[in-house]
């Protein structure tokens, strides 16, 4: 089933000026410091998932939620304005593949999953993403001493 997110997004932000897509021509490439089988991997998702004891997301919300690596993803909830959540309700792994990462650890493909996965909603403002949220996410990743991150954009 197709998802008409572009039209939904245009309708949702009709009161705003047309969106100016961000261009990044100088994103650095950083090689892994060790083989992936020895790496600590973080999960980041813009799927808008949160635990029952955490506050739900709101429109234009620049916050994020920390989900412990051992969380039961069946208990996760979702708030997201950009997609229907039927599939996520059935299997959160489609936008938040924490179970899949745990399986990769068990199979010896990656070393370990970071202490927390991070989830958020994408903002309309790229400036706010870069100036407000990105430094906080980076600080979280550095504090968890991750070697790599899997970003699941929704």
Residue 66 has what pLDDT?
A: 98
Q: What pLDDT is recorded for position 1?
A: 46
Contact partners, residue 81, CB within 8 Å, separation at least 6: 12, 59, 121
Say how many CA atoms lie within 13 Å of 143 toward its Cβ.
11
Q: Where are the domains of the chain?
A: 35-152
Q: What is the pLDDT along the chain (154 residues), one digit of tens a residue?
A: 455 666 777 787 788 887 777 777 887 778 898 999 999 999 999 999 999 999 999 988 899 999 999 999 999 998 876 666 777 878 889 899 999 999 999 999 999 999 999 999 988 788 888 899 999 999 999 999 999 999 998 8
Q: What does the buried/exposed string (b/e) look like for 8-35 if buried means 16 or more CB atoms within 10 Å of the residue's CB?
A: eeeeeeeeeeeeeeeeeeeeeeeeeeee
> What does pTM read for this prediction?
0.83
Q: Is the Cα dihedral 84, 50, 97, 100 positive or negative?
A: negative
CA-CA distance, 110 to 41, in Å (whole number)?
Answer: 7
Predicted pLDDT of residue 127 = 85
DSSP 15: T
Give the chain's radius of gyration (CA, Å). 16
**CB contact at 8 A, 46 and 121:** yes
DSSP conformation class of 144: T
Phi, then psi, of 31 in degrees rounded to 5: -65, 155
């Amino acid at each position: 089933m197709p998802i008409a997110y572009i039209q939904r997004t245009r309708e949702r932000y009709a009161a705003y000026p047309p969106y100016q897509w961000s261009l990044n021509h100088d994103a650095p490439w950083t090689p892994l410091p060790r083989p992936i089988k020895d790496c600590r991997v973080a999960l980041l998702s813009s799927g808008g998932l949160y635990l029952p004891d955490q506050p739900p997301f709101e429109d234009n919300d620049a916050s994020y939620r920390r989900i412990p690596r051992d969380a039961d993803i069946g208990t996760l909830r979702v708030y997201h304005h950009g997609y229907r959540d039927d599939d996520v309700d059935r299997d959160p792994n489609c936008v938040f593949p924490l179970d899949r990462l745990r399986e990769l650890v068990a199979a010896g493909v990656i070393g370990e999953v970071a202490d927390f996965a991070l989830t958020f909603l994408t903002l309309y403002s790229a400036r706010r993403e870069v100036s407000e949220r990105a430094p906080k996410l980076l600080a979280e990743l550095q504090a968890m001493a991750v070697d790599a991150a899997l970003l699941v954009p929704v």
